[in-house]
Amino acid sequence: MAFFTIHPREMEQIILNKHALVLDVRERESYREGHFRGAYCCPYEEIDGWMRHFNRNRTLLVYCEYGSTSLLAARQLSKCGYEVYTVVGGMQAIRRYNGYD
């Protein structure tokens, strides 16, 4: 499988059209401080533990704080057979796009 990079404006479309699960791969503390609505807390450091719990037929949309960690997660998940989208710029870009900053 491949992974795709997207802009925050494309998130809603991917979530709706692909029925994607949104995964926040930041540390738990960052997740608790604020996250995209409906996102699951799945820290990257624990990827080996949580990735096997998701159906490989389900599209995943991952983000981190700035986009680099979610890119690593997307690569790893795609190698395991998942269809994955990652948000360029991460939560920082999501916040800017949605007017939170």
Q: Which helix (H) or strand (E) holds 71?
A: helix 68-79
Confidence (pLDDT) at 87: 98
Q: What residue numbers bound the domain in which 51 lies?
A: 3-97
Closest CA to 62 of 81, 49, 80, 77: 77
To the question of pTM greater than 0.85 for the whole model, the response is yes
Confidence (pLDDT) at 3: 94
Confidence (pLDDT) at 101: 60
Number of separate domains in the chain? 1
Q: What is the DSSP string of 13-46?
A: HHHHHH-PEEEE-S-HHHHHH---TT-EE--GGG
CATH number reported for the structural domain that contains residue 79 in this entry: 3.40.250.10
Q: Is 79 helix (H, G, I), strand (E, B) or coil?
A: helix
Tens digit of pLDDT per residue, the chain (101 long)?
789 999 999 999 999 999 999 999 999 999 999 999 999 999 999 999 999 899 999 999 999 999 999 999 999 999 999 999 999 999 999 999 988 76
Confidence (pLDDT) at 46: 97
Please give the positions annotated as active site: 64
